[in-house]
Amino acid sequence: MKQTHSTHVYDFHCHVDLYPDPPALIKECERQFVTVLAVTTTPRAWAQNLEWTKDSAFVHAAVGLHPELVGERFEEVSLLEDLISQSRLVGEIGLDGSPKHRSHFNRQKEVFTRALIAANRHGERLVSIHSRRAAADVIALIDQHIRPERVTCILHWFSGSQAQLRFAAKLGCYFSVNEAMLNSDRGRALVKEIPNDRILTETDAPFAIVNGKQVHPSSIDKLIQKLADLYRTQPADLRHQIDLNAKAAFSKAGILL
């Protein structure tokens, strides 16, 4: 008989505060043993998220400033830096090079750089990073400003090239994968390149859509099934590997699960 695997699953990128009833979602995650990194999109939202999650052993609030919001909220960058001194968990931060957000790209770079520097200065930080159409710049800034023994970077919904993925892995990055990434051949080929010891799971709920429906944190098991098919391994073995990876990532931020 194989040893019993952990029943815990992990959602490393979920927008808990964008649900109509965050406390109800938090309770649901606790009942289902889903450990959640609750990312936020503005530094001003962090205090409320911390209030909701402070007594939860499963749901953990991170402080962030989403690159898509930098255009209208650039002035919150100093608040973000301040709060990174209080929060070991950081996200969502990063860069978005899509046409819609490109006009603020230099400001996005300034916010992302300052956040990385703050995280690295304090150390024991875990960071969830957005890199849509900006993988090269995101990876270059991580390379420049982060020491992997001080900050654990998780590239969320990574969609760069396979070569970029391998380089980011060499820099110590983890990759949190969601179900929507498996919708295309390109996405599946990219996910296959993730080293075993760097893969994590996420939902990006409530944004990710699969078969016309929002993905929910309670669906991580389904994602693990699909990933196990892709990697031609047993779901229980993959779940165990992700459990080890998740515990390693959190423990580097001083958080023992």
Q: What does the alpha-carbon distance between residue 33 and residue 10 come to, in Å, rounded to a whole number?
A: 8
Phi, psi at residue 65, to the nearest 5°? -145, 105
Q: What does the alpha-carbon distance between residue 62 and residue 78 come to, in Å, rounded to a whole number?
A: 16
- Choices 29-37, 85-93, 102-110, 248-256 (CB under 5 A): range interacting with Mn ion: 85-93
Q: Residue 152 or residue 176: which is nearer to Mn ion going by CB?
A: 176
Q: Residue 53 or residue 239: which is nearer to Mn ion going by CB?
A: 53
Give the position of tokens 């939902």.
Answer: 203
Q: What does the alpha-carbon distance between residue 80 and residue 63 come to, in Å, rounded to a whole number?
A: 7
Name which of residues 101 to 140 contact Mn ion (CB under 5 A).
none
Name which of residues 199 to 218 contact Mn ion (CB under 5 A).
204
Q: Residue 98 or residue 233: which is nearer to Mn ion going by CB?
A: 98
Q: Residue 11 or residue 204: which is nearer to Mn ion going by CB?
A: 204
Question: Shortest gap between Cβ of 92 and Mn ion (angstroms)?
Answer: 5
Length reported for the chain: 257
The order of strands in the sheet holding 199-201 is 89-94, 125-130, 151-156, 174-177, 199-201
Q: Residue 43 or residue 238: which is nearer to Mn ion going by CB?
A: 43
Return the sign of the alpha-carbon dihedral for residues 24, 209, 66, 192: positive
Question: Shortest gap between Cβ of 39 and Mn ion (angstroms)?
Answer: 6
Name which of residues 149 to 178 contact Mn ion (CB under 5 A).
none
Name which of residues 20 to 49 contact Mn ion (CB under 5 A).
none
Question: Shortest gap between Cβ of 204 and Mn ion (angstroms)?
Answer: 5
Q: Which residues bind Mn ion (CB under 5 A)?
A: 92, 204
